[in-house]
Chains A and B, each alone.
Chain A
Amino acid sequence: MGELTDLWVGVQNWLFETFVGPVIFWLGQMAWYEPAYSAVEFVMLGVVQIVVIALGMRFFERRWPLEKAGDDRLIGVDRVYTVLNKLGIVPFAIFVITYPISQEIELLMRSWGMAPPRLERLLPWLGDNVLASFLVYFVLYDFAAYWLHRAQHAVPWWWALHSLHHSQRRMTVWSDDRNHVLDDFLMTLALVLFSQMVGVQPGEYVSILMVGRLIESWSHANVDMSFGKVGERLVVGPRFHRLHHALANPDERHIHDHNFAPVFPIWDILFGTAIYDGKQRPTGVDDPRVDADNGRGWVVQQVTVFGRFLRAVTPRFLRAPVQPGLRPPAE
């Protein structure tokens, strides 16, 4: 483990000292020296994730595909999303906006004396166990992500954005990053603030992102697999999450309002949103305007979905008269 850490940090340091650090120095922006170093690690993690997806997860999709036939052209745009996200291009843009906002909020709270200590102060034994500490913070982070995900479905303007993620009819390991940048921004801001509140440290945050996003990529895989009867109740797998992407039908108009959990299904089990029925369903959104996302490129998707968002935030009396539901109609 120590050798692996050395190798990882050695590469990060070399990349930084050779390419990034000198540029920061030349630009006279030394206040960004440390954040830039962290950004290098973020990009490295993205490369690792892309390799794991392309070589590891894709192997299972090719060997045991759930949907054997379909329009593979629909998948291409998801690869673009994955590369833009994993290599930090979209996250960088989000970071530039998110960082000052989250900093200001954190500083305001701290100037009021509101500085929540880490959990280790309440549970000292956590401090003696790195793995336990990581897991506890991971679970807390996932808990926040679960409720934010529910909000993405429940709040009409947020669903207008998030429906892009659900519109894909050909789900694959590349689908996880298919999100509108505004949706990414809102989720990032909320999760960063939550992490600061509970005391997730930068190192833990990176680990949580690394492990969590890999699990989420896998949960979108085009395979009918799970971690077993017990395991699928501990960690989200493709079978569990596929139901969340299911196309609504007359008998199950709100089927996609289940199995929200990003990583730990315990939240769905506890809050009554879990379904384990093993049925295979087609995926997508039963709204023609949302379904039209399929086949579009990254730029067109971003523009049209932003239009959906604008319509959703526009007061009803100002909207165009015809608004076929942005969400599946209520029962």
Chain B
Amino acid sequence: MKKLAIAATTLLAVVGTARADSVLVLNSEEASYSILSRSTRTELVRLPVGREPHHLMPTPDGKEVLIGSTATNELLALDSKTGERRRVVSNIIDPYQLGFSGDGKWFVTVAYRLDHVDIFHADGFRLAGRIFIDGLPSHMAFDTESKTVFVSLQQSGRLAAFDLATQTLKWNVPVGNTPAGVLVLPDNKRVLVALTGEDGVVVVDPKDGKVTGRLQTGKGAHNFWPKGDGRHWFLSNRVEGTVSMIDTQDMRVAGSIKVPGGPDCMDITADGKELWVTQRFLRRVAVVDLEQMKVVASIPVGKSPHGVYMLKSGPAAPGAPVSPAGGPLRAVSTGSGTTR
């Protein structure tokens, strides 16, 4: 009994003190999430969550982070600073990818396996409209005016745009083989789509979906993450085993980092010094030193780690740039993952 008490106290102490510099990682094939210490680069605790957790997203007020438990049709809300469990939001069908519009009014989920896009009023998660669309909807991004959400369709190789207010399809166009990550640039004039079945990204005009450009990055181009300067974005290349840094102003690859093991979702530390990348196949999370532009640590976690999130954030500063899926710039893993 005494041992149990000591163990419980120790666990509480570890979990309790871990938050200031902790990192959350979703182990998609283990129905669990890991909490890691950024400073010691170790896994502190592993806790159960629903089934097939892939992605997560902070709420617009920054107080909670929502984990999508796809196979149990629910969201688990954690305190975004402490990681403690707050509540479960039920009846969110197949929440594979999730995101809030920049104005915080809309909450959108894409049901990867069930082929539909659900648009909710963010207040109370009230379903406004469900749009069925073939082709494995996977990743999403909002325009900066919070009027449109762009969704990639992996199987059909298309990108679709939906009007948030009317929950209707605006256009649906072919963009390339296995499109995954979607990024709306701050000028709201270009949408980048990563082509996992090819070796780079295409530039799409958000007005009509016309492909206007192309950039080679690496095989299996998959998912974006902002560097935080409004100009550079990171892009994971799953087959190539690299992370490219894209200069979106000049539309060129400004740097490349070798990250083995099917790199997928990313998040950047608040000081901008480290990029954390899930290594799906290696059951690890890589820590990239952005000064050296190389992996300096790789931390064991659970099976098929997918979403990653720095537990730290408060509300986004007014006027702060938005992440690929619309949340506060540094507080999310909208990433995605697709090729499950």
Contacts and interface: CB of A to CB of B under 8 A. Distances in A.
Interface of A: 2, 5-6, 9-10, 12-13, 16-17, 21-22, 25, 28, 30-35, 37, 103, 107, 110-111, 113, 115-118, 120, 124, 126-127, 199, 201-203
Contact of A202 (B29, B48, B262, B280): B29
Interface residues of chain B: helix, strand, loop or mixed (majority): loop
Nearest to B73: A115
Given A110-B73, A117-B50, A30 B197 contact: yes
Contact of A31 (B48, B50, B154): B154
A2 B238 contact: no
A44 to B, nearest CB: 13
Contact of A25 (B94, B197, B304): B197
A9 B48 contact: no
Closest 9 CB pairs of A and B: A127-B48, A33-B339, A30-B178, A203-B303, A120-B48, A202-B29, A34-B340, A30-B197, A115-B73
B239 A21 contact: yes
Interface of B: 29-32, 47-48, 50-52, 71-73, 91, 93-94, 113-114, 136, 154-155, 177-178, 196-197, 219-220, 238-239, 241, 260-262, 280-283, 300, 302-304, 339-340
A22 B239 contact: yes
Given A5-B300, A25-B197, A117 B220 contact: no
Contacts of A21: 239
A31 B281 contact: no
B177 A28 contact: yes
Contacts of B94: 110
A31 B157 CA distance: 11
Contacts of A202: 29, 303-304
Contacts of B239: 21-22, 25, 33
Contact of B31 (A13, A34, A116, A199): A199
Given A13-B261, A31-B154, A201-B30, A115 B72 contact: yes
Given A2-B300, A17-B260, A37 B29 contact: no
Contacts of B51: 115, 117-118, 199, 201
A116 B71 CA distance: 8
25 contacts: A5-B283, A9-B282, A10-B282, A12-B281, A16-B281, A22-B239, A25-B239, A30-B178, A30-B196, A31-B136, A31-B154, A32-B339, A33-B196, A34-B340, A37-B262, A110-B71, A110-B94, A115-B51, A115-B73, A127-B48, A199-B71, A201-B30, A201-B303, A202-B29, A202-B303
A329 B1 CA distance: 59
Given A9-B282, A111-B93, A115-B73, A31 B31 contact: no
B152 to A, nearest CB: 12
Given A34-B339, A34-B340, A127-B48, A13 B29 contact: no
A9 B93 contact: no
A90 to B, nearest CB: 24
Contacts of B303: 201-203
Given A127-B47, A201-B31, A203-B30, 5 more contacts: A34-B339, A110-B73, A111-B93, A115-B73, A201-B303
- Residue of A12, A115, A120 with most partner-chain B CB within 10 A: A115
Contacts of A113: 73, 91, 93
Contacts of B300: 2, 5-6
Contacts of A34: 280, 304, 339-340
B282 A13 contact: yes
A202 B52 CA distance: 9
A30 B339 contact: yes
A37 B31 contact: no
A12 B261 CA distance: 10
Given A9-B282, A107-B113, A110-B114, A31 B29 contact: no
A237 B48 CA distance: 34
Nearest to A133: B48
Contacts of A124: 48
A26 to B, nearest CB: 10
A5 B43 CA distance: 15
B201 to A, nearest CB: 15
B94 to A, nearest CB: 6
A16 B340 CA distance: 15
Given A115-B71, A127-B47, A203-B303, A31 B30 contact: no
B114 A111 contact: yes
Contacts of B340: 34-35
Contact of B281 (A13, A22, A30, A199): A13
Nearest to A12: B281
B336 to A, nearest CB: 13
Contact of A118 (B48, B177, B260): B48
A302 B94 CA distance: 41
A196 to B, nearest CB: 8
